[in-house]
Amino acid sequence: MDLVKQAYASSSESENEQEEQSSGAETLPPIPSAVLDKFNIAPSVRNDSMKTSSFRHWVTFAYIEWRLAQKERASLDRLLSKCNSTIQKHTSQEVRFTPTYWSDLGSPRPLHISLCTNIVFKQAETRETFFKNVETAVEQSDSKPFKVIVFPRPRVIRSLTNSGHFFLTLPIDTCDTETSIAQLIRIIRDSHRDLDATVNFPFDESAIHVSIGSLNASPESVNTAALNEALASHLTPEIPDFSFKATNIKMDRNRETLSVRFPEV
């Protein structure tokens, strides 16, 4: 088990980190991304973790995936701890965010940047048409792999679908000169515009973010304005910006993840 843990700590570990962790020990080859995408549901102790559709509707959503390196997870652990300490010290609210980049069973999880809210289709075939539309649009676009910058400036937001669910988020730099996240959002929107699909909530393109923590609490017990005031006034992250290379759009199809790669230069 130690060998597996060393070799498969994260699919995005750099070669140098892998060498440091496994020096003097036998190493295993990295897990192919195709395998990770094929079985993308993280281990969970919740009974509803295997549900993929309801009322015969077929759901998907599109996102950019961020697979964290070990050092990035460690930095997020420190940042999340500081956020919780700052909230407890400077507000009267008894809240504590838990990390979204660790599963319920303690295994590493990727983070994602949403490109839409959930898209609901009445027919599985219509959803397949949507997937093909996205693939065609990406191939015909001038999209190419690009750098995503994540700023360590935490902000608390309330879930659109559950008033008792809150997220601790970090903002994203969306101003890449060649490929922009806004361009990808338009591709997703245009790909289902003429299909029999429903989007229950509008997508706010002005607040692109990644969620690093979550909280379940009674809606009346959480004052998001007070939490954000405390974080803005008293938190000093003391960590550099995060960055990673986005190479594809991902979309969920039940247990499987579909990956549409950007054309290479």
Strand partners, 167: 157, 214
At 18, the pLDDT band (50, 70, 90 cuts) reads very low
Q: What is the pLDDT of residues 94-146, one digit of tens each?
A: 899 999 999 988 899 999 999 999 999 999 999 999 999 999 999 998 888 98
Instruction: Report pLDDT for 5.
Output: 43
Q: How far apart are CA 10 and CA 6, in angstroms?
A: 9
Instruction: Report pLDDT for 2.
Output: 43
Instruction: Report pLDDT for 265.
Output: 57
Instruction: Report pLDDT for 203.
Output: 83
- The residue among 249, 262, 244, 258 whose CA lies nearest residue 11 is 244
Contact between 123 and 196 (Cβ < 8 Å): yes
Instruction: Report pLDDT for 22.
Output: 45
Average pLDDT over residues 251-259: 91
Q: Which of these ranges, 7-21, 75-89, 191-205, has the smallest mean pLDDT?
A: 7-21
Contact between 108 and 12 (Cβ < 8 Å): no
Average pLDDT over residues 77-103: 95
Instruction: Report pLDDT for 211.
Output: 97
- The residue among 184, 180, 246, 212 whose CA lies nearest residue 12 is 246
When comparing pLDDT for 172 and 47, which is higher? 172
Report which DSSP code applies to 227: H
Instruction: Report pLDDT for 74.
Output: 96
CA atoms within 13 A on the CB side of 158: 15
Instruction: Report pLDDT for 52.
Output: 45
Instruction: Report pLDDT for 202.
Output: 78
- The residue among 212, 210, 224, 215 whose CA lies nearest residue 97 is 215
CATH level 3 topology of 32-261: Cyclic Phosphodiesterase; Chain: A, (3.90.1140)
- The residue among 149, 154, 148, 153 whose CA lies nearest residue 166 is 154
Q: What is the pLDDT of residues 186-245, one digit of tens each?
A: 999 999 999 999 987 778 877 789 999 999 999 899 999 999 999 999 999 889 999 999
Q: What is the pLDDT of residues 160-190, one digit of tens each?
A: 888 999 999 999 986 655 568 888 999 999 9
